Amino acid sequence: MNDAERLTLRTELATMRTSGARRQELSQHACKRLFFDFGIRPSTATVRDLTQTGSASDIPKDIDAFWTRIRSASQVRIESGAIPEGLQERAGELLGQLFLEAQEFAIRSLEGERHAAKDDVDAALSRLRDAEVRCATVDEALRRSEARADTALARNCALEVELASLRGRELEAQSGLQASTHRLEREHAALTQRLETEQTANAVLRDRLDALNGELRHNTEHYAQQIKDAISEAERRVKPMLVELDSLRGMAATYQAGVRQASQKEFDFIQQLSIAKARTDRLELRIREQSDEIDALAFERDALLGQCGMSENVARLICTMVEEGRLSVQEMQALGTDIDGFVAVPPSCPTCVTGEPELAQRDDEFELSCPDCDRSSGTASSRLLAVARFHSPEIADTPSEQTER
């Protein structure tokens, strides 16, 4: 008897117990089912296990009562018909034997059918187990699918939130980009306008520089020609006078009578020489003045050349920052000589007040010093740095400039 049959039998007994059956009925039913249906000889332990009731002395009594009923049922007496008395019991035994054999045959048939039914049940159970396994697999797959679906749904929600956030940031970025684009376009337009203005100013400065260069060349040639003509005229006038003076001196030695007249003529000639010398001095003074004017024009030309490519307002702003001490030595060195054309030499020395500083240039180095006192800027790489050091002597040379020296 397998577990399924045992469970079925226990279910039947539980149903009988629920309906009010007594212990003897439960035990008799268990013995009948064990013996006739399963071909098992009833035992105390088996019946007690199935009925779950009765004591160790009551169940054997119930089993004996079951066997008594079986034996009484097998002893059949045939009282009808003309059968002698001695054959009635034999006929009853024969019928009982036939009943037993029929019962055994029926049991064997039942056992075969039971085995076939058991095989069918086993096959059905196997299919059931396979179906349960498949069902469990499907349930597990369904749970995993539901879990994945929940995860995907949660991820979808998170992605939607992130997408909304990204769209918001994208809109903000686009707004910022558009604002930056408009601002840059405005700055570009302003810078373009400023560049055009600077280019126009540079063109004007170049034209003025060309004009000054032409005027300088013309004035230089004109003054040089005037100086040459004045010298030639002086030589032309002085040489005949000298020749005549020599002749008069010879005549004075020969003619004593004409000494006074010769002396008078000599005096006249000397007076004319003095006049010529004074005119020569005036010409030399004029030449020096014109030379100073030429030097001033050359200085102005150098200043204009130094101012090319730099806005005057920017240069003035940088000079103001240098005077206020807001630029470092490295920054002034980075500017180089780009704004030297806008740098003015201080009119007075900050130490002695009365001295007028002088700017000296040797090769590519500049030095600003006061002739009345010992204040000096030292050698600097640009005019701007020299003026800054002259105002603030505490500005030291950078390591790179010291190394170059």
Contacts of 217 (CB under 8 A, 6+ apart): none
Complete DSSP assignment for 168-189: HHHHHHHHHHHHHHHHHHHHHH
Banded pLDDT at 405 (limits 50, 70, 90): very low
Instruction: Over range 329-343, report the average pLDDT.
Output: 71
Q: CB–CB of 24/30 below 8 Å?
A: no
- Check whether residue 217 and residue 337 sit in a common domain: no
Instruction: Over range 122-149, report the average pLDDT.
Output: 84
* Joined tokens for residue 220: 């230089």
pLDDT at 78: 46
- More reliable by pLDDT, 379 or 74: 379
pLDDT at 171: 87
The answer to whether residue 154 sits within a structural domain is: no
Task: Tell me: pLDDT of 89 over 80.
Answer: no
The answer to whether residue 192 sits within a structural domain is: no
pLDDT at 399: 37
Which stretch of 147-161, 260-274, 277-291 has the lowest confidence by average pLDDT? 260-274
Task: Tell me: pLDDT of 303 over 80.
Answer: no
Instruction: Over range 183-203, report the average pLDDT.
Output: 86
pLDDT at 397: 47
How confident is the model over 136-151, as pLDDT tens digits?
A: 888 888 888 888 888 8
How far apart are the C-alpha atoms of 364 and 401, rounded to whole Å? 13
Banded pLDDT at 227 (limits 50, 70, 90): confident
- Check whether residue 281 and residue 377 sit in a common domain: no
Instruction: Over range 62-80, report the average pLDDT.
Output: 69
The answer to whether residue 188 sits within a structural domain is: no
In 3D space, the residue among 37, 67, 39, 34 whose CA is nearest the CA of residue 51 turns out to be 34
Where is the domain boundary, 137, 159, 183? 137
pLDDT at 191: 86
How far apart are the C-alpha atoms of 383 and 281, rounded to whole Å? 37
- Average pLDDT score, the chain: 77
User: In whole angstroms, how far apart are CA 91 and each of 71, 88, 105, 378?
Assistant: 15, 5, 20, 159
- Check whether residue 268 and residue 340 sit in a common domain: no
The answer to whether residue 375 sits within a structural domain is: yes
Complete DSSP assignment for 54-92: --TTHHHHHHHHHHHHHHHHH-----SSS--HHHHHHHH
- Check whether residue 325 and residue 291 sit in a common domain: no
Tokens 């979808």 identify what position? Answer: 156
* Per-range mean pLDDT, top range of 54-68, 85-99, 301-315: 54-68
Task: Tell me: pLDDT of 401 over 50.
Answer: no
Where is the domain boundary, 307, 341, 371? 307
End-to-end CA distance of the chain: 117
The answer to whether residue 174 sits within a structural domain is: no
- Check whether residue 8 and residue 128 sit in a common domain: yes
- More reliable by pLDDT, 103 or 141: 141
Phi-psi region of 105 (alpha: psi -120 to 50; beta: other; left: phi over 0): alpha
Q: Could you give the number of structural domains in the chain?
A: 3
Q: Over pLDDT 90: what percentage of the chain?
A: 0
pLDDT at 282: 84
Task: Tell me: pLDDT of 48 over 70.
Answer: yes
Reported as half-sphere exposure (CB side, CA atoms, 13 A), residue 339 has a value of 24
Banded pLDDT at 85 (limits 50, 70, 90): low
pLDDT at 345: 76
Q: What is the pTM of this model?
A: 0.26
| Range(s) of the domain holding residue 349 | 312-404
The answer to whether residue 189 sits within a structural domain is: no
- Check whether residue 299 and residue 386 sit in a common domain: no
Q: CB–CB of 378/371 below 8 Å?
A: no
- Check whether residue 295 and residue 352 sit in a common domain: no
Contacts of 235 (CB under 8 A, 6+ apart): none
- Check whether residue 47 and residue 66 sit in a common domain: yes
- Check whether residue 327 and residue 242 sit in a common domain: no
The answer to whether residue 187 sits within a structural domain is: no
